[in-house]
A and B are shown apart, each in its own frame.
Chain A
Amino acid sequence: MRNLKRILLAEDDQRDIELTLAALEDINLANEIDVVRDGEEALDYLFKRAEYKDRENGNPAVVLLDLKMPKVDGLEVLRQIKKSDDLCHIPVVILTSSKMESDLITSYDLGVNAYVVKPIEFEDFVKAVKELGSFWAILNESPPDR
């Protein structure tokens, strides 16, 4: 069995985290999921800083990124990822509660790989997360680590 890459979920709302994890559980995803609660933590995780300084595993297979987060928002996290030579190839999926055109445009300008509005109905939400997970974590071939 190959060593599967992790999935990074950056989400500040505990209930959203639970629902997302429930949805991902549903598809029996083998990948481990790391959760960070705000943008700063997400950046620390990705750049292996502070409490993630000694993190051993490599870059995640995909980053599921909420836009509205405390301290550093999702767009800033996205900008940092795409600016970094080490991280720019990580697929980033924006998972947000509502579609705001300016956010959408900025995200694509920064090089986001997908932009998903969380469906309100749980079935739809589960379906969306499943599809995202199976695509980015299973079907998609990640770029090799440097």
Chain B
Amino acid sequence: MKKSKISDLSLRTKIFVFTMMPFVLVMIIISILSIQHRIEDERKLTSNRIESYVILLESGDLSFSSIKQKEKIEKLLNEKVLSAELIKKDRSIAFTTGGSVYEINKEQIDKAFQGYIITFTRQNKILVQISLHPIIVKNTVVGIFHLELSFEKSNDRVRQYILFVLHLNIFGIILSFLLIYFLSQKIILNRLKSLTDMCSEVRRGNLNHRLSVNSHDELGILALTFNDTADRLAERNQRLKEEQQKGLDNIRELEKYRDHLEELVKERTIELEGKTKKLTKSRQSLTLLLEDVNESRAELDLSNRKLEASNKKLEAFSYSVSHDLRAPLRHIDGFTKLLNKNIKNKIDEKSQNYFDNIINSSKQMNKLIDDLLIFSRLSRKDMKKIKFNMKIAIDEALQTFDSDIKENNISITVDDMPDVNLDVSLIQQAWINLISNAIKFTGNNKNPEIHIGTDKDTDGNAIFFIKDNGVGFDQKYVGKIFDVFQRLHNINEFPGTGIGLANVKRIITKHGGNIRAEGKINKGASFFFTLSDV
């Protein structure tokens, strides 16, 4: 069972219940009260009529004998009379209708002479009034009017009245029911229904529906509010529609842009494809080029290999040349000396001079072969660089010249040197050539001096130098000094092959270094070189 039973009832039922209930209640109460009032009225009226009858008797307008006439009394009292009688002073009954129902005792009669007595009883459920009225004539009580009266007739009247009231009530209820029904229908329910209908319409999206407002009661105000809300909704809807339209327009514009973009993309794609094609073409040509390059590289490799092969051949050639040149040279030298030894005592000075010339020439040729071999070897030989102290390399080279230095009384100073990355045999060869150069060109000096030292350039790299106080050279020929077979001095004065300094330059260049020379005639020569320390 649900608790909110009443609230679940329909509005109409509620209206009925809450309006009819008090109405019916009030009707019933009023009916009961009016019936009661009517009953009292009846009683009062009857007792008034009895009073009036008694007064008529006392005044003599009615004779006492009329008491016998029951119908007459009933007519006057408008009530059913059971019995009526007149009791005299002597307690005898003067006139009677006969048929007294209830016994009256003496005391009651005595009391009645004093004043009005009334008692009630019931006969067959109908109220019966027994009254004793003193009849006073000229201030004397002449007798007692004893009346027994049944309220049959007034009861009937009251009953009729109740019936009437009942009918009236039923009529009223029906009327009010109909009234409430129709009025609620008209005033509330119909309008509520139209409101509900409109709600449904609104829900369905129809915002053009409006309520007709005939009154300005609450429902009217509600309808107005509702209309207003609908107006606003419609307005907002309109705005929304407009905005939607705008959105759609935007979308359409976007679509236009998109279409345009697609076109643009297509254009670009075509452009790009063109470029790609070009690129592919260039790539193809690049590939071709690469193939060409590869081909060229292969060719280069081939020529390199050929070159290597020819280098090897050249090497072999050089050695066989050196071997084949050396052997006859050695023979010339050997046999010349043997011959010279054998006939030394038998020849003159001039002949001996010829022998010396032959021997010197072979010596010079030997030197030339040596230098040429070194020169050709330099271009092929792979370097093996190690960290090596330069002073040790110089000292080793100087050992070759021990006898020369002593013989010529040369003063040689060698400074301390740093460790350098170098190929020991090559650098020693370079020093040998430089030192032999210095010794050779200081030959005419009485106090020959050679200084081997080191310095640093602006970048902090080591510079090595050898300075002598020999014949020097003219600085304007400095460009030729490192060229092969270039000589700046007469071969008879200073014998040489013209290869020594060229070899030095080759060695220094091979080490990633530079060499330069400074000279002044008769003021000595200086050679400076650097090595790349890698």
Contact = CB atoms under 8 A, between A and B. Distances in A.
Contacts of A19: 330-331, 334-335, 338
- Chain A interface size range: 10 to 19
B323 A15 contact: no
Interface string A97-131: 11010000000000000000011111101000000
A102 to B, nearest CB: 10
Contacts of B97: none
A22 B323 CA distance: 21
Contacts of B449: none
Main secondary structure of the interface of B (DSSP, over half): helix
Contacts of B336: 122
A89 interface: no
A98 B331 contact: no
B46 interface: no
Contacts of B337: 122-123
Nearest to A118: B330
B319 A120 contact: no
A123 B333 CA distance: 9
B334 A122 contact: yes
Given A13-B327, A19-B334, A121 B363 contact: yes
B453 to A, nearest CB: 33
Contact of A16 (B327, B333, B373): B327
A6 interface: no
A96 B327 CA distance: 9
**Most chain B beta-carbon neighbours within 10 Å: one of A98, A100, A123, A125:** A98
Contact of A98 (B326, B335, B338, B362): B326
Contacts of A100: 319
Contacts of A48: none
A122 B338 contact: yes
Interface in B337-362: 337-338, 362
A98 B366 contact: no
A96 B336 CA distance: 21
A120 B326 contact: yes
Contacts of A121: 333, 363, 366
A125 B319 contact: no
Given A98-B319, A122-B338, A15 B366 contact: no
Nearest to B370: A120
Among B323, B334, B362, B373: residue with most chain A CB under 10 A: B334
A68 interface: yes
Contact of A120 (B335, B338, B362, B373): B362
A100 B319 CA distance: 7
Interface of B: 319, 322-323, 326-327, 329-331, 333-338, 362-363, 366, 373
Interface of A: 13, 15-16, 19, 22, 68, 96-98, 100, 118-123, 125
6 contacts: A19-B335, A97-B330, A119-B330, A120-B330, A120-B362, A120-B366
The 7 closest A-B pairs by CB, nearest first: A122-B334, A122-B337, A19-B334, A15-B331, A97-B323, A120-B366, A98-B323
